[in-house]
Amino acid sequence: MVRIEREGKSVKFDTRYREEKERLLGKSSLDEVDESFPLDSIRVLVKRYLLKDEKGRLIEGPKQLFQRVAMLVVIPDILHDPLVFDKEGKQEVHEKEKFSPEEWEGKLGFKRVKWNRFHLERMKSLYDELNEQGKMKVPWKVFLRMLEQGKFERHYKKFKEYYELMVQRKFLPNSPTLFNAGARLGQLSACFVLDVEDDLGSIMEMVKEAALIFKSGGGLGVNYSKLRPKGDVVRSTAGVASGPVSFMRIVDAVTDVIKQGGKRRGANMGILEAWHPDIHRFIKAKEKPGELENFNISVMLDRAFWEAYEGGRKYSLINPRNGEKVSEVDPKELLKEISYMAWKTGDPGVLFKDNMNRRNVLRDCLGEIRATNPCGEEPLYPYESCNLGSINLYSLVEKGEFNWKEFKRVIRACVRFLDNVIDVNAFPLKRIEKNTKRTRKIGLGVMGLADALYALNIPYNSEEGFKFMRKVAEFLTYHAISTSCDLARERGPFPLFERSGYVKGEMPVNGFYQRELWTLNWKKLSEKVREGVRNAEVTTVAPTGSISMIAGVSSGIEPQFSLIYEKVVPIGSFHLVDVEFEKRLRRMKNRKVLLKKVVQNGGSIQGLKEFPEEMRKVFVTSLDIPWWDHVRAQAEINQWICAAVSKTINLPRWASPDDVFKAYLLAHRMGCKGITIYREGSKSKQVIHMGPGSRKRQEEVMKMVKNRTLEVATKLGVMGKGGACPSCGYEKLVHESGCVKCPNCGWSECVIA
């Protein structure tokens, strides 16, 4: 987004703009990184990411933040250098040596930048791990001496590459990595899944583990289906069970009081499978405002549900305590109940267990996945975690063309970056570390899709737009897997590789099984994969609320929610205007008048005859797009993503519960792994404000699409407290990718944002 003053005059890097940056950063002069980032990006970094001392004073700037992250991430490259690393593990295990990182702080590193004690702690931890595996050729003291002698100075180039990916805003890792890399906590992952058994001891242990995850900066998903239903017998006390929802409230309370890494409250995904006797109670768990505010909730529908639905049969509800059938329900009526509550409140979402596990290459050795992270884009096994990062697609558009060559280079660097994060991560639980390193899943995704499409002059919901989405996702996963294979040759495959579907020629993406969709040589890649791959999964499309604001682009794969946002700051009142839309406005007459009309039209140009038809087709926003095209966008991208896709299916205020019902059916039939819908105005305290012209222009949109049908089907969330940002009080929050974010200060309820 670019800045436009209220009266329409462009605000450049003038004295006031520079002074505001200096004030925010507590500096008398700006360095090159401070200069390169927009003021709004600086605001987000200062508010949420830059390290502070005990009194809340900044102790680093943006440049130092990105150096801190890159210096941690480069450590595994050094420890896997052939000078000291033996992939085969045939070295003698050297005696473990004591090491005081404080004594070496600032003394080791490259000529231009040094490691701090927290970097060195993680370095020693990784050395010890590799040494225990017989993979280190030299003792720790010898390795330290080699560092002092500059034997690894050539890896400065790799450090610089990681650093420049971030400062050039081509890639950013998930928030915990920015918070904690090279800092005290050292926990770098965003996504976690825990398990819970049907006994009080297990439940309370899970609550304790959840607290540790929230404290470290992570978000959590739990499937509560093993817990006996409300009213069921508890023999040990001669009492009755209180049911899964009651125990979710305990986790909700714990979440509320533990701020993640000192930054924000945690986020949860609560899942209940459709066969559970408490399913009706779960569906309505968030009906009343104030209930489970730190939770997204989702119903998991399994293959048996869909077989009953298609066959017109009843669907059995089963007591998990003894496996006995409690009752039967009409699956269509159950789905209608889910649809109505989602229409009314935004919850629950739906997860499709069959689609989630169809291409799961670990199913034969670990069973089916039954849970996801808080925003649903990362299905995980119990006690597994994943670290995410997103590539800025808009940064790859040059002179109206998408730079595929640069995209490939960035993908390859980012896969190494995220794989390295696993090695230097200070996991909150040993069990999570063990399970994560067995599969080494990473989640590389994208952001800035909407802005890239604007720049390429491609309508989001057009055949050309869907083709571009498909190609981006295919290209991303193809080159990410290929890079992971190269890493396996250097460092070894993930430990469960030999028990995975990869050795049988399976691939983790549905597009691989539809040869007509191929634009790349997947046969050749599948042969390469059989020799070993470093990561069980490599791609995920996550919400990017805060990091997309740092990058200054649209969130994840979402359309722009509005072409213009109002903003009030100490240096003045102005509007944030989408950068590509602003470029077009500069070519038009009466720019000031047009800007006012767009503001009055709810941030959209639909229905405004002052804008040419070609421009109205390209510059669409979330509520300009019919829900079935939202579903299709998610499905097209999902074809080529290893894990899943986080997206919100936005519906206008007057959409019906039947529209939600049809959206669920379409999403399942198109192979989506889950779906989150949000109908404008579906909360008593409205989160999304579309402006005075929203109804008029949405009626115009419906006229435009009235002749379109759901033929595409035969081709193939969380709410904030009240209606204002809890950080800055801004009242026009935006609901995207299954979470809420503030366009004013960068606050987001999504832990992975």
The per-residue pLDDT for 569 is: 56
Does the pLDDT of residue 265 top 80, yes or no?
A: no
User: Kind of pairing, strands 2-5 and 572-577?
Assistant: antiparallel
- The predicted-structure confidence for 673-691, as pLDDT tens digits, reads as follows 999 999 988 864 433 344 4
Looking up tokens 């969709």 gives 517
CB 72 within 8 A of CB 155: no
CB 285 within 8 A of CB 292: yes
Average pLDDT score over residue span 633-657: 95
- Provide the token pair at 223: 């499937």
One of 268, 373, 425, 638 is an active-site residue; which one?
373
One of 191, 375, 672, 742 is an active-site residue; which one?
375
CA atoms within 13 A on the CB side of 320: 23
pLDDT above 70: percentage of residues in the chain: 88
| Amino acid type, 311 | G
- SS3 for 42-82, per residue? HHHHHHHHCCECCCCCECCCHHHHHHHHHHHHCHHHHHCCC
* Strand, helix or coil for residue 589: coil
Of residues 735 and 328, more confidence is placed in 328
**Interhelix angle 117-132/140-148, nearest 10 degrees:** 140
Does the pLDDT of residue 692 top 50, yes or no?
A: no
Residues 3, 589: Cα–Cα separation, whole Å: 19
| Amino acid type, 22 | E
- The predicted-structure confidence for 448-495, as pLDDT tens digits, reads as follows 999 999 999 999 999 999 999 999 999 999 999 999 999 999 999 999
3-state helix, strand, coil in the chain (%, to 5): 45, 15, 40
One of 121, 161, 209, 377 is an active-site residue; which one?
377
- The predicted-structure confidence for 63-122, as pLDDT tens digits, reads as follows 999 999 999 999 999 999 999 999 999 999 999 999 999 999 999 999 999 999 999 999
End-to-end CA, the chain = 18
- The predicted-structure confidence for 566-621, as pLDDT tens digits, reads as follows 766 555 556 788 999 999 999 998 888 998 899 999 999 999 999 999 999 999 99
Domain extents in the chain = 61-159, 191-351
Does the pLDDT of residue 702 top 80, yes or no?
A: no
The per-residue pLDDT for 239 is: 78
Best CA proximity match to 751, nearest among 742, 743, 739: 739
Average pLDDT score over residue span 407-421: 98
Number of H helices, E strands in the chain: 29, 25
Q: How far is CA 482 from CA 245, 487, 503, 644, in A?
A: 43, 9, 15, 19
| Amino acid type, 266 | G
Paired with 367 in beta bridges are none
377 catalytic per annotation: yes
The per-residue pLDDT for 750 is: 62
* Burial group, residue 125, by CB count within 10 angstroms (0-12, 13-18, 19+): middle
- The predicted-structure confidence for 310-334, as pLDDT tens digits, reads as follows 999 999 999 999 999 999 999 999 9
| Amino acid type, 574 | F
Average pLDDT score over residue span 344-368: 97
The per-residue pLDDT for 267 is: 87
Sign of the dihedral through C-alpha 631, 577, 548, 262: negative
The per-residue pLDDT for 741 is: 74
268 catalytic per annotation: no
Average pLDDT score over residue span 651-674: 95
